[in-house]
Structure 1
């Protein structure tokens, strides 16, 4: 139970939360993501964005993290910190120095202008957020989405019907379909020729090397190790182009090649 002198920081876009509030509310509320609370300006090419509270500019978050969901998380954190006594400007400065966690759009390396990412997305909602977040960052550059449906619910096919829509923003889709209780090719059929399914990682990597070209972004999504496919692909690209693998601190924490 939140006391009357506490604060509820709520997603202003969530109608379900508003329905809960209608049942009774005795604690102050600050909303984020909607007019009349904390909002984020449009991000620039680096992912930096302005922060507003009740339409008044509070500062600018200068980090290298992409995605609307991350901006909403930042607004919620700033609101909570402010209630705890941390000025908004101080919270914004702290977020600007925040380095992204591993396996959240983590760049594993780049070869010949082809950038390879690792992300923990493993269900349709997270996949949608991840792919659309990358699309917002890279613009019209090609995204090659590579998916391993590894979680128990995904292996059972519980959410397979939602997969095509979640991958719609990708230019090409590659699915590792081994050990599934359903036919991935049938599930991804609505995506047409841009989706392919593979039973072995070697075949998948070989196809990626053949398809990828400079400027492409290869997005690996799995909640497991994916058989070490990231390293396998980077090594295969290295062998194919006879170029070194580029790996820097920026790559590890969400920067872009």
Structure 2
């Protein structure tokens, strides 16, 4: 089959492209901006990439067109596909029909849903299963350092060298599927094991309020079989409301007063408890309580497919996180520069708190922020920004192309906060303010104009 993918350079659609190519299909694709690292990964897999969405791409003669949710009506290639009556499908539906549940293949899908931490938690879970020899397939919205790729098909389990693993671990996004399918992506996956990591308001561009997102999460709950398992954060009232609307599946809680819990904390990790009984001590370098909760969720989900807690704990001790999750990009002039994907106020607060716990009260944190997501651009979360950055010593905000005034929003931080409409003045201001021993924490869900290297160059050139 020849598959042509519209919007191929996003992490999700790029992952689908790699899975399709590995399954033996001819794969081509296009995007408005063909850019690395995804473009490099795809070209290395033998996938032809085309810049733009011109209607002339119909001459490629694809059998089916897989449509990313960045594509809307009015897109010239999409209009040509529709006018010609050619077959098209969304990315999540194609994945479900051709990878997860294809003919006689009915994968044991482990889906990780939640407002925050999906990519890290999905990567943790895939790594635990791989460490245990189960050779799972996976699709992650990032690049897990343990694998170096964002997607792969199931392999041969260690216990069955000639077989094919039934397990597929997927990051289950609540964002809408496509312009012609406004359901959340995760309703297509039909998981047997589902992690509900957390749930709060986000994606203000497509959801009116938190209740609307809770409805989509309940659609996911409805798709989990009675012999499956739901692993739910015990601290989230929103998830309690979702499950109270109807649940036909056993539920294990984590992070609350029962089920999987964080025990005694140590400098290098923490004790894992299940109903108050120690399952072992997890030693790892990851920062923040949010990652401890992520770990509990993955241990519960992995145990559901037969991985003992002690094996999961050993695996997590060798987990190397995901690119752009508190990733150290370098040190110059005695200043360390980090890159993190945080863009929602809750994620920003959690990330800053994690770094503060690591470096202590004596070190300065210089937060460099780009409010780039659709929700942040709309200004829906702007009033929460000062509180989320309260633990940072200085804040430098890039406010270009926002529909609201970042200086006004960050005014409660006083002189600690500065805003910029251009990148170069921001870089120079950070370099001028930074002192040896400072931690520069860059937070954005985009490339941020290569600001990380610009900062390192400026710091080195002082």
Q: TM-score by structure 2 length?
A: 0.50
- Displacement after TM superposition at 1:26 (Å): 4.1
The C-alpha deviation readout for 1:40-87, integer Å capped at 9, x for no partner, is 2354334x2211111111112222211222111110110111121111
Match of 1:82 in 2: 303
**1:147 corresponds to which of 369, 389, 398:** 369
SS in 2 for 1:178: coil
Count of aligned positions: 239
Matches within 5 A, 1:168-207: 168-207=390-429
Separation (CA, whole Å) in 2 of partners of 1:3 and 1:156? 38
Distance 1:23 1:183, change over 3 A: closer
Separation (CA, whole Å) in 2 of partners of 1:21 and 1:154? 28
Matches within 5 A, 1:206-225: 206-225=428-447
SS in 2 for 1:4: coil
Matched, 1:104 2:325: yes
Separation (CA, whole Å) in 2 of partners of 1:168 and 1:90? 38
Match of 1:134 in 2: 355
- Displacement after TM superposition at 1:135 (Å): 1.5
Separation (CA, whole Å) in 2 of partners of 1:19 and 1:237? 49
The C-alpha deviation readout for 1:161-199, integer Å capped at 9, x for no partner, is 111111111111001122222211111101111111122
Match of 1:235 in 2: 457
Question: Which stretches of structure 1, 4 residues or longer, exceed 6 Å deviation after superposition?
Answer: none
SS in 2 for 1:51: strand
Separation (CA, whole Å) in 1 of partners of 2:371 and 2:258? 40
Separation (CA, whole Å) in 1 of partners of 2:372 and 2:246? 41
Q: Which has the larger radius of gyration?
A: 2
Q: Which segments of 5 or more consecutive residues in structure 2 lack a partner in the other structure?
A: 1-222
Match of 2:335 in 1: 114
SS in 2 for 1:97: coil
Match of 2:40 in 1: none
Distance 1:32 1:231, change over 3 A: same
Deviates more, 1:28-37 or 1:167-176: 28-37
Q: Which segments of 5 or more consecutive residues in structure 1 lack a partner in the other structure?
A: 241-257
Distance 1:44 1:211, change over 3 A: farther
Deviates more, 1:195-204 or 1:94-103: 195-204
Match of 1:251 in 2: none
- Displacement after TM superposition at 1:20 (Å): 3.6
Matched, 1:27 2:219: no
Deviates more, 1:24-33 or 1:168-177: 24-33
Separation (CA, whole Å) in 2 of partners of 1:53 and 1:161? 38
Q: Which has the higher contact order (CA 8 A, sep 6+)?
A: 1
Deviates more, 1:174-183 or 1:148-157: 148-157
Match of 1:7 in 2: 229
SS in 1 for 2:266: coil
Separation (CA, whole Å) in 1 of partners of 2:247 and 2:407? 48
